[in-house]
A and B are shown apart, each in its own frame.
Chain A
Amino acid sequence: MKIKDGFVKCKIGEKYLVVTTGSLSAENNIMIELNETSSEIWELISKGFTAEEIAFKLADKYQIPVEKAKTDTDLLIENMKKAEIFEDE
């Protein structure tokens, strides 16, 4: 899964805001609000990690069960797919 080019992300207060830029705005002009964990997952996806790898990293960092981390990761990825954030592969 590859995030389309043209998204930029910035921390605003305690949350993160993602907006589209350039030609992506014409195709899919959206704005997304992320919390700390979702922002981390977004960063890991953009670095090329798979959902499983991300879940293990989160489980390790936050000392939570891998199943919970996987559920959270899968949920965000599902929402990102619905919002057409990924390139077609």
Chain B
Amino acid sequence: MPEFVIDVANLNIAVNCEYDFTYKFCRDYLTEAEPDFGISVSPESVDKEIDESPYNPSRPYAESICVYREIAEKLPFFDRCVFHGAVISYDGAGYIFTAPSGTGKTTHISLWQKYLDGVEIVNGDKPILHITDDSVTAFATPYAGKEGLQNHSKCELKGICLIEQAKENTIRRLETSECLMRIMVQMYKPYEAAAAVKTLELLDRLLKNVPVYLLGCDISQDAVRCSFEALTKLDFDERKKDSEN
């Protein structure tokens, strides 16, 4: 497979790998531009990915995971990181919903779409965040979860919402000291020490710029009201769709 370049999170990245699976997987992101940096994946990395996976992936699929990992290793030097969470945009602002897999991120954002117009799913699983001193931008990537939900766009991040399943719908703002570990586990942690230090610095900047909330919720309309009003500061009843689907 010849080298190809992808435009992800406003960076042009040259990819060297064996199979064409990743090339096809990244078809919405291909570019002719000169690369900012390049990555390559060795057969040994693919072997290791397969050995360590509980899912017995094919070699091409395993290689695509290795490609994103190699990219994620380098991103901190460009003030960016891979973040595990679902990003939606509403009224021009971006919000991330994050939780351990299976907790209900995708369910919750689909409820936002059910009850509100104008909700765009920017990335359903592993967006890239560009974290500067005074703003955070969330970017869609080809790595968008099993539903493949992404729209190749970006948004300015205005809130992060940790989700827990609960009997009642409640939400509260968390202080940095309450959530630094819970947010860190959702950020890609590089193998290389220098990149890991950069990632921690990005975490510090992220928490200075973006409020974090803890949402306990069920799967009702009230769950959307709860997170919507806390994150956007808008009135849910004024914004919700007139009739339910």
Chain A residues with CB under 8 Å of chain B are 6, 8, 10-15, 17, 19, 21-22, 25, 31, 33
Residues of chain A contacted by B191 (CB below 8 angstroms) = 21-22, 25
Stretch at the interface among B7-15, B133-141, B193-201, B228-236: B193-201
Q: Contact at B197–A17, with CB atoms within 8 Å? A: no
Pairs across A and B, CB under 8 Å, 9 listed? A12-B180, A13-B177, A13-B204, A14-B176, A14-B177, A15-B180, A17-B184, A21-B190, A31-B181
B172-191 Cβ-contact flags toward A at 8 Å (1 or 0):
00011100110011000111
| Interface residue B238 (Cβ < 8 Å from any Cβ of A) | no
Contact size class for B? 20 to 34
Say whether chain A's binding surface is mostly helix, strand, loop, or mixed: strand
**A22 partner residues in chain B, CB cutoff 8 A:** 191-193
> Distance in Å from the Cβ of A80 to the closest Cβ of chain B?
17
Least CB distance from B194 to A in Å reads: 9
* B207 CB–A CB distance under 8 Å: yes
| Separation of A25 and B180 alpha carbons in the complex (Å) | 19
Chain B residues within 8 Å of A10, by CB:
197, 200-201, 203-204
Contacts of A25 in B (CB 8 A): 189, 191
CB < 8 Å neighbour of A11 from B181, B184, B204: B204
Closest to B195 in A: A21
CB-defined contacts of B207 to chain A, threshold 8 Å: 12-13
Closest to B204 in A: A12
Chain A residues within an 8 Å CB radius of B177: 13-15
In the assembled complex, the Cα of A15 lies from the Cα of B180 at a distance in Å of: 9
A13 vs B193: C-alpha distance when bound (angstroms): 21
The reply to whether B203 and A17 contact each other, CB–CB distance below 8 Å, is: yes
Residues of B contacting A6 with CB < 8 Å? Answer: 193
A33 surroundings in chain B (CB, below 8 A): 180-181
Q: Given the complex, which residues of A lie within 8 Å of B192, measured CB to CB?
A: 21-22
User: When the two chains form their complex, are residues A31 and B176 in contact, meaning their CB atoms are under 8 A apart?
Assistant: no
- Known A19-B184, A22-B191: A12·B200 in contact at CB below 8 Å: yes
0/1 string, B206-233, CB within 8 A of A gives 1: 0110000000000000000000000000
The residue of chain B having its C-beta at the shortest distance from the C-beta of A26 within the complex is B191
Nearest CB in chain A to that of B205: its residue? A12
Tell me, in angstroms, the Cα distance from A14 to B208 when the chains sit together.
Answer: 11
| Nearest 6 pairs of A and B residues by beta carbon | A10-B200, A13-B176, A21-B193, A21-B196, A12-B204, A12-B180
Question: Which of the listed residues A6, A13, A15, A25 has the most CB atoms from chain B within 10 Å of its own CB?
Answer: A13
A17 to chain B, nearest CB (A): 6
Contact B185 A31 (CB under 8 A): yes
Q: Which of chain B's residues have a CB closer than 8 A to the CB of A13?
A: 175-177, 180, 204, 207-208
Q: Which residue of B lies closest to A5 (CB)?
A: B193
Known: A14-B176, A33-B180. 14 other contacts (CB 8 A): A8-B193, A8-B200, A10-B197, A10-B203, A12-B180, A12-B200, A13-B204, A17-B181, A19-B189, A22-B193, A25-B189, A25-B191, A31-B184, A31-B185
